[in-house]
Structure 1
């Protein structure tokens, strides 16, 4: 998954305002206690970050 696709899916799922908050403010234990943006900056694969968000926010399987 490319970063552009990550942002598109995040915007589609949460809306542009909430997507920014989810990525910037929510700390995910499965990402080592990092936010999504911090995890991506530290080299965690974007797909893994996306799936962590999906799990935390109960995104339906068809949207993952």
Structure 2
């Protein structure tokens, strides 16, 4: 998944303003306790990061974005 696709999906699921704050502040256990921003900066594949978001918030992410 391209980085631009990742951010588009995150913004569609969480809203354009909240998505960036969410990425900076929320730590995911599936990402080793890292935030989205930290995981991406450390080279974790965006598809892996996206799967962690979907697993943590299945009700928030529309089926069409999974």
The alignment's TM-score, normalised by the length of structure 2, stands at 0.88
Query: CA-to-partner distance for each residue in 1:3-24, whole Å, 9 max, x for gaps?
Result: 0000111111111111112211
In the TM superposition, what is the alpha-carbon distance from 1:60 to its structure 2 partner? 4.0
**Which residue pairs with 1:61 in the alignment?**
63
- After TM superposition, where is structure 1 displaced by more than 4 Å over at least 4 residues in a row? none
**Which residue pairs with 2:29 in the alignment?**
29
Equivalent-residue separation in structure 2 for 1:21 and 1:53 (angstroms): 14
**Which residue pairs with 2:43 in the alignment?**
43
Equivalent-residue separation in structure 2 for 1:35 and 1:57 (angstroms): 14
In the TM superposition, what is the alpha-carbon distance from 1:53 to its structure 2 partner? 0.7
RMSD: 1.1
Query: CA-to-partner distance for each residue in 1:33-60, whole Å, 9 max, x for gaps?
Result: 1001100111110000011011111124
May I ask how many residue pairs the two structures share in their alignment? 64
**What runs of 5+ residues in structure 1 fail to find an aligned partner?**
none
